[in-house]
Amino acid sequence: MTLSRRSALTLTLAAPALLLAAPALIRPARAGACVVPDLDRGVTFKRKDGSIGNAQRANDGLVRIDYVTNRGAWTDIRYVRNGVFEVSRVVQESEYEMVGASAPSFSWTHSPKPVTLTDGITWTGKVKETVEVTISDEAATVESTKRRWQATYTCFEPREVTLSGCVLAALTVEAVFKDGADTRRQRWVYFPAIDLGLETRRGDVTNGLVALGAPEA
């Protein structure tokens, strides 16, 4: 990634025992303070670098996450399954329109199928990656590259976090991808009550979550 951001995820932590004893996965931090997020209606969020995004349920069990909606031509749109398993991504890390080629389009398939995320669960399998870029020539040439990663997703650190007046149960999910000598990492905060995971680290770049809620009416 070319974006330089050094922000850590800052969330309110509670002991796992408190999470297990909680009667609900979402509750108000104080009376009347919490508008429960829902993917059918849409969820909005803000990250520490100031980016504002949204997430909404899409077709075929997928969730569409637009990580950046307020920075000109900057694009980071992903479709995910089971909270964090990315199926596709279109990304352009510039506020200005690209010239000469389209934004890169990524697609991934997972084998075996992604699991439902719960504390302590691990998914290990193969992830096939395809990257396509359309060149702005007369033939609209599509350049494509393929890779196959060996991946492990680990779900851990149950806790409660307070965001935008709501106390939500949360888990950390970390993925490690390996292809020969190459290794890359991702990390998300996952909210079981919403079935939504939001990325907090990609490679060496971290970007914390500071707000999460329902869209304004």
Strands (E), the chain: 26-28, 43-47, 52-57, 63-66, 75-81, 85-92, 105-111, 122-134, 142-163, 166-179, 182-191, 196-202, 205-206, 209-213
Q: Decide: 38 and 194 in contact? Cβ < 8 Å.
A: yes
Domains annotated for the chain, with CATH where assigned, are 16-213 (2.40.360)
Residue 117 DSSP one-character state: P
Q: What is the pLDDT of residue 20?
A: 32
pLDDT tens, the chain, 217 aa long: 333 333 333 333 333 333 333 335 666 666 556 877 899 999 999 999 999 999 999 999 999 999 999 988 889 999 999 999 999 999 987 676 766 566 789 999 999 999 999 999 999 999 999 999 887 666 677 788 999 999 999 999 999 999 888 899 999 999 999 999 999 999 999 999 999 999 999 999 999 999 998 887 6
Burial of 138 (0-12, 13-18, 19+ CB in 10 A): exposed
Q: Decide: 67 and 79 in contact? Cβ < 8 Å.
A: no
Q: How far out from the chain centre does Cα 132 lie?
A: 21
Closest CA to 106 of 184, 214, 217: 184
Q: What is the pLDDT of residue 6?
A: 32
Residue count of the chain, please give it.
217
End-to-end CA distance of the chain: 35
Residue 38 DSSP one-character state: B
Residue 20 DSSP one-character state: H
